Amino acid sequence: MPEQTTTVFPQPTLDEWAAAGIDLPVLFTTGPLCDRMGIRILQASAERVVGTLPVEGNTQPYGLLHGGASAILAETLGSTAAALHGGPTRYPVGVDLNCTHHRGARSGLLTGVATAAHLGRTSATYEIVITDATGKRVCTARLTCQVRDAG
């Protein structure tokens, strides 16, 4: 399992969420599924989120990366960005996720980068590119989230 990293959030975002009583690093770097998968978020803003996933422990019976693991990484990164877009009084709900798997991976650490394609009042869409340690694209995904009021 990779070493725990410190998540980098923009200071204005930290200030806004702290005023609402939300501890952002705990919100986005812990949780049973991310812990189980070994997902770590390295950088996060509404426009771009970067995170990693180890291949080891996330394979299908034939030793290749499980496609569902790529989907979990993609949704985690995109949802994190959508939550930052929504701010402390709104939350994201994934409504569409699609993944295209380009190549298999048997070992190493994958890196995913979610980049905003659309940031609207009630929705946010992200392209997520997942690459291996050599920079080769393993998966391309797109996630659309509805951004809802918490009240």
65-115 pLDDT tens trace: 999 999 999 999 999 999 989 988 888 999 999 999 999 999 999 999 999
Residue 75 catalytic?
yes
Domain ranges (residues) in the chain: 11-149
State the catalytic residue, choosing from 3, 47, 56, 75: 75
User: What does the pLDDT look like over 102-141, one tens digit per residue?
Assistant: 999 999 999 999 999 999 999 999 999 999 999 999 999 9
SS3 at position 25: helix
Task: Output DSSP code: residue 103.
Answer: S
Tokens at residue 113, please?
Answer: 């980068």
- CATH code for residues 11-149: 3.10.129.10
Model pTM score: 0.84
Q: How far apart are CA 78 and CA 128, in angstroms?
A: 7
